[in-house]
Chain A
């Protein structure tokens, strides 16, 4: 089955700096890569996603890159703000019969220091 590795496990940055979280996946058939933000006591919330036919996607301060050959994908947050502090999960997914079984990484706890 799919295995997703994520690092770092914790990340502290100064407000305004950039944060980068990196993930690798094992199953070359995976074709959808969502990123989730989880705030304390809440469920994972989708913040951005990328499909295997795209190499990069950007949404305001958040960007994601995908290298299918190397099976790497990364999340970049620019101009970080204290409200970006949360746990971020990368995930890899394979569309199978209409549903997607999502495999999560271990998570990165991001702390933005004011």
Chain B
């Protein structure tokens, strides 16, 4: 069964450093998403991406965040200058087109900012 994969599974970084989280969506999916989950809280929408551009972003997704699809398979989330409050689990998701728009989530990257 196809699945979304994410790397790394864990990332520890110093405050102010840049991090790039990577995702490989399901191969025939065209819509891509990033969510985050702060420990013990709900999963929050960050951004959706389609046709090489952002479809929608939340208020969390400020200028420190960016997304990119650098090639035909990867989808990345970059945080330019990490803050302590960026510590969270980051999930990538992808969905297909037409009536099948169920989002399938990856296992997540746990980011810890020190």
Contacts and interface: CB of A to CB of B under 8 A. Distances in A.
A76 to B, nearest CB: 20
A34 B42 CA distance: 15
Given A97-B55, A98-B50, A103 B103 contact: no
Given A36-B105, A43-B91, A43-B106, A104 B44 contact: yes
A28 B89 CA distance: 30
A102 B41 CA distance: 15
A101 interface: yes
A44 B42 CA distance: 11
Contacts, number: 61
A96 B42 contact: no
B105 A89 contact: no
Q: Chain A contact residues (Cβ within 8 angstroms of B): what range?
A: 20 to 34
Interface string A77-114: 00000000000010000011111111111110000000
A63 to B, nearest CB: 18
A107 B108 contact: no
Interface SS majority for chain A: strand
A102 B103 contact: yes
A29 to B, nearest CB: 15
Interface SS majority for chain B: strand
Given A32-B101, A43-B91, A102 B45 contact: yes
A52 interface: no
Nearest to B44: A104
B45 A103 contact: yes
Given A99-B50, A99-B56, A101-B56, A45 B105 contact: yes
B36 to A, nearest CB: 11
A12 B52 CA distance: 45
26 contacts: A34-B102, A42-B107, A42-B108, A43-B6, A43-B106, A43-B107, A46-B103, A49-B102, A89-B43, A98-B31, A98-B50, A98-B101, A99-B31, A99-B33, A99-B55, A99-B56, A99-B95, A99-B101, A100-B95, A100-B101, A101-B56, A102-B35, A102-B45, A102-B103, A104-B44, A107-B42
